[in-house]
Structure 1
Amino acid sequence: MKRPSMTVGLAIAVVAALTFGTSGAFIKPVLEAGWSPAAAVTVRALVGGIVLAPFAIVSLRGSWAALWRARWRVTLMALIGVAGTQLAYFAAIQRIPVGTAVLIEYLSPLLLVVVVWARSRKLPKAVVLIGSVLALVGIVLVVSPGGAVALDPIGIMLALAAMVGCAIYYVVAARPSDGLPPVALAAFGLLLGGLLLGIIGATGLVAFTATFGEVGFLGATAPWWVPLAFVGIVSTAIAYAAGITAGEILGSRIASFAGQLEVVAAAVFAWLLLGETLSIPQIIGGALIVAGIVFVRLEKSTAGELDAALEPFEPMGLPSRV
């Protein structure tokens, strides 16, 4: 079978970035209607996992032992990559604009640079240092008092928590697969994460509330399940599937560059659907953050440790998450 062209791969990568970028703008009206972040994440994860499950089962080809060998990896993915990161992100966008939360979370590769630096005690190369400085200046512009009106400090802290979770997600996802296909890791991680968060919510350890009336959707109103289904199917299942496919065609490094579009997409969707705008300093800061991450990703670590920390799913190459 002929391998798809680079153009096709890039087109699919753009689809992945755009669909990932829709989640914040489409879920925020649900949260404003009375859904708690935990309830919204639970539904999103379960819907996405159910949609991906048939593809995961086919990809396993009966090799359920691979799933058992990767049980701790799947569990960490469920707890950190799905439940923890998405819960923090959804809680953050209740308090601060979607674009701001995404920009903060998108700093996760820089956190990995710091961790690798601390562990190896080797000064990062110039391109990494330049990228890190650009991104740090950018985040100062994004969250500074002059960057927006009354940014909620709790919202910023929650976005930072999502950044930490996303960084851990990258490391977990980049570990040896033990024969577990990427789509299976995504599907079972989503299913387990949704189930665990639902159980935690049922015990009352986290707020777990839902309303079942009309919510805002595409400038009008719709039943509560419509935006949740959209986020579960489009922003989760289709986004993961497109990201995995793009990574297989392009390779993880090229696909990750295409994934830079996700930040822009999230901000644009929030502007179009929610009326959230970024100030001029925030736009400049966002551009610096994206440029900084590009610089960091340009560096190919000779030891391979930085690459291992920054690579998402193998062979998936797009940021995942939100």
Structure 2
Amino acid sequence: MALMTDDVVAVQGASTASSRLGVGLGLALASATGFALSGPLARGLLDTGWNAAAVVLVRMTVAALVLLPFGVRALRGNWTALRQTWRTVLLYGALAVAGAQFCYFSAVAHMAVGPALLIEYTAPAAVVGWLWLRHGQRPGLLTLAGAFVAVLGLVLVLDLLSGGADVSPIGVLWSLGAMVGAASYFIISADTDNGLPPISLAAGGLVVGAALLGLLGLSGILDMQRAAEDTTYAAHTFPWWAPLLALGVVTAAAAYVLGIMGTRILGSRLASFVALSEVLAAVIFAWLLLGQVPAPVQILGGALVLLGVIGVKLGEKTVEVGPELELDIP
């Protein structure tokens, strides 16, 4: 009887872990999908006279304003947690939010978008290396094989093999800076010991990121250009503020919160590889909203990215299931 009871408990535990894993994957994929929508939406604004820096600043500012009240409420008056983790919030805002964005747009000012994205999306490899060197979590052969397949798929999704890549040393350095910012996003988001609810960390980071980008704009380091013309998506016309609102609420506020929640369940390594689906989703959104039909090689690349993510998942010896996470919204 005791043996049967132990078997039942084991089955229930495995079922719970599997259920939580599914939730984590769903949150991470929803976050990646939200981030992916930002490119096509921004493209419509760029075509009307906005520049990238101005779009990013408005996106971060709107997201910060939306999340700040909920982030404060989620603390439930526990200001001690915020005082103890203010360095984490500053680091998250500076690296994961403002740093990644600023470095990426600086990179594309010197080189083509495809190679810049490829370098930035080596962030999962940086996460694996960090966990190995810092925490002794040595990746297995299956994890490394999955990572290789995912990167190969990324090359195909970005269609880098169809022609010569425009690469410059300065652009590569900026892209590496964006990679550090992206890796920081996964590493900091996975920390469940800082006592901050996901929505509070996201709100704090977005406030810091928006403030830093604003200071860069005021100082003249970032040139800000904006317009008030209507935008067009999928043959439909929208007022200029509509995509900006969607960029702030959907592709930033919701995407960051869901990403933190998913990463705390999956861990930084697996979550960083799941996030590669953002590139595939961006290709699909560009097709639906902008009429940019993906090439067959890009579809093949998407399949390889998914196969690589599965390989990384199977290579994980255990899946650490984080505590229950709640999105505290009244």
TM-score tier after normalising by the smaller chain length:
0.7 to 0.9
2:49, 2:226 within 8 Å by CA — same for their partners in 1? yes
- Which whole-Å CA distance do the structure 1 matches of 2:157 and 2:323 have between them? 31
Query: CA, structure 1 residues 144+44, in 2 after alignment: closer, same or farther (shift >3 Å)?
Result: closer
Aligned: 1:38 with 2:53: yes
1:107, 1:293 within 8 Å by CA — same for their partners in 2? no
- Which whole-Å CA distance do the structure 2 matches of 1:285 and 1:87 have between them? 27
From 237, 245, 248, the equivalent of 1:232 is 248
Task: Please tell me the root mean square deviation across aligned C-alpha atoms, in Å.
Answer: 3.9
The 10-residue stretch of structure 1 (101-110 or 255-264) with the greater mean CA deviation from structure 2 = 255-264
- Which whole-Å CA distance do the structure 2 matches of 1:136 and 1:44 have between them? 29
Query: 1:320: which partner in 2?
Result: none
Tell me the TM-score normalized by structure 1: 0.75
Post-superposition offset of 1:130:
1.0
From 273, 281, 289, the equivalent of 2:289 is 273
Q: Percent identity?
A: 37
From 232, 237, 250, the equivalent of 1:216 is 232
1:244, 1:315 within 8 Å by CA — same for their partners in 2? no
Aligned: 1:283 with 2:299: yes
Query: 1:75: which partner in 2?
Result: 90
Query: 2:70: which partner in 1?
Result: 55
2:108, 2:171 within 8 Å by CA — same for their partners in 1? no
For residue 22 of structure 1, give the secondary structure of its aligned residue in structure 2: helix
- Which whole-Å CA distance do the structure 1 matches of 2:289 and 2:199 have between them? 30
CA deviations on 1:127-156 (whole Å, 9 max, x unpaired) are 122123223433454567533x56543698
- Which whole-Å CA distance do the structure 1 matches of 2:299 and 2:245 have between them? 31
Post-superposition offset of 1:75:
0.8
Query: 1:198: which partner in 2?
Result: 214
Higher-Rg structure is: 2
For residue 240 of structure 1, give the secondary structure of its aligned residue in structure 2: helix
Matched residue type, 1:125: G
For residue 216 of structure 1, give the secondary structure of its aligned residue in structure 2: strand
- Which whole-Å CA distance do the structure 2 matches of 1:228 and 1:152 have between them? 30
Q: Which ranges in structure 2 are unaligned for 5 or more consecutive residues?
A: 1-15, 326-330
Query: 2:205: which partner in 1?
Result: 189
Query: 1:28: which partner in 2?
Result: 43
Aligned: 1:153 with 2:139: no
For residue 237 of structure 2, give the secondary structure of its aligned residue in structure 1: strand
The 10-residue stretch of structure 1 (65-74 or 124-133) with the greater mean CA deviation from structure 2 = 124-133
- Which whole-Å CA distance do the structure 1 matches of 2:305 and 2:254 have between them? 26
The 10-residue stretch of structure 1 (252-261 or 221-230) with the greater mean CA deviation from structure 2 = 252-261
- Which whole-Å CA distance do the structure 1 matches of 2:138 and 2:224 have between them? 45
Post-superposition offset of 1:230:
0.8
Query: CA, structure 1 residues 11+196, in 2 after alignment: closer, same or farther (shift >3 Å)?
Result: closer
Q: May I ask how many residue pairs the two structures share in their alignment?
A: 302
Query: CA, structure 1 residues 24+314, in 2 after alignment: closer, same or farther (shift >3 Å)?
Result: farther
Post-superposition offset of 1:90:
5.2
CA deviations on 1:54-95 (whole Å, 9 max, x unpaired) are 211111001122112111111111111111213344566787
Post-superposition offset of 1:283:
3.2
Post-superposition offset of 1:242:
4.3
- Which whole-Å CA distance do the structure 1 matches of 2:194 and 2:237 have between them? 46
The 10-residue stretch of structure 1 (221-230 or 116-125) with the greater mean CA deviation from structure 2 = 116-125
From 102, 109, 118, the equivalent of 1:87 is 102
Query: 1:163: which partner in 2?
Result: 179
Query: 2:13: which partner in 1?
Result: none
